[in-house]
Structure 1
């Protein structure tokens, strides 16, 4: 009986945590940029994930977006939320629908021992036939201890996605994506 209790204790103490970024919130810079474009009635269609992505962080546990979302759904929702707040979103009678493929998604929680980075590459395609690619390389301080480093890595996904969406919206190609 003592052996069973010892095994259960060891398993409980070595159980992995899941590290999550915060829910997406709007970027003021992206909001201002979206309000300057003349286009509107934009919908956001489906986003697909990368072919390969390992969400494990240092044997401490996986990194996973909140609300049981996939990483690509997090980016999709981020773009839709930005368009909604800027008054450019229209799900019912859109003139344009944007869809996406996350072609690159990777992170490091041990860049230079105590640093970390996210790399995200997104191809966005418009229902008008135009396409563009944007990418973000986001560096941050992660920490030496696995638990801290993985927590910091998860939290860094949010600003990495904010930067990615801002790059998309501010790119010269964005206007060609959202006009007929």
Structure 2
């Protein structure tokens, strides 16, 4: 009986250890799209976004959180800005009128806030080739779950929503208009 239990426990552990929670590709937020179009500009380029000094992708004992297309979390944020600008019709892949770049100052998550809750914290500084800069912050809370596989899966999925909110706060901020003028 003990041998049977041991075999089942080892098999269950191996199956859970192989799970890699992954954030799916970014999805455009309609409100962000409307806000960008309302700015009435075109010719915006997106340069490199640099990562924070420290960021741990490890979620509980399950392992690292990953992002679709083998991007880093910082590259995901950069690409999300590009995608939002592209869909709004204001992105310039070549010869942009103005280029924005970013520095992710803080990127943290918790999959166990209050035992079954989670959160993402993203602090971003954005600079423009026109000399202007601004900062944006997002603290996003969500329900994660009790077990590591569920909590980490929910945490990976919540990253996309946190980035959508970050971009929404950025483009709605009056300072963003100064970055792209």
**Which of 104, 107, 131 pairs up with 1:105?**
107
Shift in Å, 1:84: 0.6
Contact 1:17 1:62 in 2 (8 A): no
3-state secondary structure, aligned to 2:102:
strand
For 1:139 and 1:11, the matched residues in 2 are separated by 29
- Please list every run of 5 or more consecutive structure 1 residues that lacks an aligned counterpart in the other structure: 1-7
Aligned residues: 174
3-state secondary structure, aligned to 1:135:
strand
**Which of 50, 53, 59 pairs up with 1:51?**
53
**Which of 22, 28, 42 pairs up with 2:24?**
22
CA RMSD of aligned residues (A): 1.8
Q: Measured at CA, do residues 108 and 39 of structure 1 come closer, stay the same or move farther in structure 2, by a change above 3 Å?
A: same
Q: Deviations over 1:43-69 (max 9, x none)?
A: 000011110001100111210111100
Contact 2:16 2:149 in 1 (8 A): no
For 2:110 and 2:12, the matched residues in 1 are separated by 28
TM-score when normalising by structure 2: 0.91
For 1:167 and 1:17, the matched residues in 2 are separated by 33
**Which of 124, 148, 158 pairs up with 1:156?**
158
Instruction: State the match for 2:128 in structure 1.
Output: 126
Contact 2:100 2:126 in 1 (8 A): yes
Contact 2:101 2:126 in 1 (8 A): yes
Instruction: State the match for 1:3 in structure 2.
Output: none
- Please list every run of 5 or more consecutive structure 2 residues that lacks an aligned counterpart in the other structure: 1-9
TM-score when normalising by structure 1: 0.92
Contact 2:49 2:101 in 1 (8 A): yes
Shift in Å, 1:99: 0.4
For 1:99 and 1:119, the matched residues in 2 are separated by 19
Shift in Å, 1:15: 3.1
Q: Deviations over 1:138-169 (max 9, x none)?
A: 00000011110000000000000000001110
Shift in Å, 1:12: 3.9
Corresponding position: 1:75 with 2:85? no
